[in-house]
Chain A
Amino acid sequence: MDKPRWNDVASTGGTVNTSVYKPNYFMINGLGGFDAMMDHGTMIMGMMDEVTLVRIVNAGQFSHSLHFHGNHFEVINININGNRQPAPFEQLDTINVPPMSVAEVLYTVNQTGEYPMHFHTAQSETANGVYLNGGATMIMMQ
C-alpha cells in the first residue's frame, strides 16, 4: 500500500507533496476511536431529557459526515460564525462539516441505552484500516 506519509517525509527533512492527501488516521479531540469512545470529555453522557451542546470544529482537510445513533439532534449553527439559527431548529441524524468549518448541535437524551456517534465515510471509520476506529465516540444515555 503506497501511502504518502506527510509526517514521515517532513520529519526526515523531505518536501511534502501537498497535492496528494491520503489521510489514514482520523481523530476527535486528538483521540482515535478506541480512545475517544472511552474519553469522558468527548463522549455524550446524560440522563433523560438532559441536553448536550456539541461543538464541532473540523480542523482537518476532509469533509466529515457525523452520524449520531439513538436520537436526532438540533442544528443551532452550521458555519454562520457563531451566530445562532433561529428556532425552531432543523433536526438531523447526520451532519456534514466541511474542512475548516464549525457546527453546533443540541443532542437530547430521550431514551436509555448506549449508541455510537461515528463518521459515515468509508476509511474514516478506521485507523489505518483497523475498524471500529477513526472518527467515533459513544453516547451513553441513562
Chain B
Amino acid sequence: MKKSVSILLLSVIGLASSPLSAATINKTLCVGSLNKSLSGQSVSFWGYYDCSGGMMGGGGMGGGGMMGSATTPGPILEIGANDTLNLTLNVNMMTPQESFPYNGHTVHLHGADVQTSEDGVPETNGNTVTGDTYTWSPSVGHEGSYAYHCHVHTVKHLEMGMYSAVIVRPRDASGNFLNRLNQDPATAYDYSQVYVLSTVDPAYHSASGDSTVFADYNPQYFLLGGKEGKTTSAPALTLAAAKNKKVAFRLIGMHSTNSTFQIKDAAGNLKAFTVYIRDGRALPTSKTVTSFDISPGQKADLLVTLPSTSSTWYPQVVYKKLRDNAPYATVYGKITF
C-alpha cells in the first residue's frame, strides 16, 4: 500500500513539473520457458512475460505472477516520449537460467542510452542479475522503435528468445498517444505493425556456458514476430488494412545475420516506402526506397501508403549471410486492403 501511494505522488510531481503530459509506467517482467515448433522441430526458448500482477502483490499467485506464459518475442512495450518507464525484472526460483557465472538475467534497454546502473549489463552494473528495476525517460524527439533484451551471456540469452520491442510514441497536449511516428505530422499513420527480426540456431539452445558451440552460428530457422512465414500463403504476420491508408512498420533487428526489408505485390513488383527514423532518431532527411538493410541491433521506423485499388502486398525480410550476403531465406508478412 505504501508503495502505491509513493508512486502516485511521483506521478503528480511529474505532471506538475512538465509542460507536456507525462505518465509513469510501472511494469514487471518475469522469464519463463517455452517450446516452439519450427519446421516441425521442437526448439526450447526462454521468453519474457508480463507478471505485473506480482507474486506477492495485489493479484497474488493467481493474478498473473509466476503463472503467466512466456513468449518470444516478449511483450511489446509502448510508452510516451517524456514518460518514465520503471521496468522491473523478477528473477525467482522458478526462473529458467544457466549456472554460474552466467546465472540470472537482466533487461538491456537497447538504444536507450540510460545510466550505467540502468543499462542491464552485468559486467558494468556490479553483476546485478537476480532482479532489478530499469528506469528510462525518453526525451521528446527520441520517439521511435527500440529493443530490449537480456544482456547476461548475450550470445546465448538473446538467441534463447529473451527480446522484444519498446515503442516510444508521441503524445498530444492531453497526454493521448498520437498515431504518428514522432511529432512530425508527415509521419501520421493509420495502422502500425511491429516486425521483430530473429534467427535460430538450435545448437545454441541446448548448449550452455563457455562452449565452442557458440563459436559457430548456423541459423536454421528465420522468424518475424517469432513466427516462420516461409510462403506468402502462410505469412508470419498479417494486417487487414484499407485502401489509401498509411501503414507504419517498425523493424527491430534481434537477429544474427544480415537482412533486407522489402514490400512486394503479388506479381513481385517492389513498392516504395519512406524511412523516417533509425535507432530512435529522426533522419535529417527521410528516405524513400524500395529496399532497406537491417543489421543485428538496428531499428527503423517507416511508412508505406496503400494505393486506391484493393490488393494484397507482402512485406518481407530476406535473411542473408554475413560473409557474402547470399540469401538464407525469405520470411513473409501480408497486408490486405
Listed in ascending order, the chain A residues whose CB lies under 8 Å from chain B are 1, 3, 21-22, 24, 61-63, 65, 67, 69-72, 88-94, 96, 99, 110-111, 113-116, 120-123, 125-126, 128-132
Contact = CB atoms under 8 A, between A and B. Distances in A.
B215 A96 contact: no
**Chain B interface extent, by class:** 35 or more
A131 B159 CA distance: 14
8 contacts: A1-B215, A69-B121, A116-B124, A123-B214, A123-B217, A125-B155, A126-B215, A128-B215
Interface in B98-112: 102, 110-111
Interface class of chain A by DSSP = loop
Which of A92, A111, A122 has most chain B Cβ within 10 Å? Answer: A122
A128 B121 CA distance: 21
A1 B284 contact: no
Report whether over half of chain B's contact residues are helix, strand or loop; otherwise say mixed.
loop
Contacts of B102: 131
B97 to A, nearest CB: 15
Given A115-B116, A115-B121, A121-B256, A96 B295 contact: yes
A65 B296 contact: yes
Given A21-B323, A67-B110, A128 B212 contact: yes
B107 to A, nearest CB: 14
Contacts of B211: 129
B82 interface: no
A129 B124 contact: no
B7 interface: no
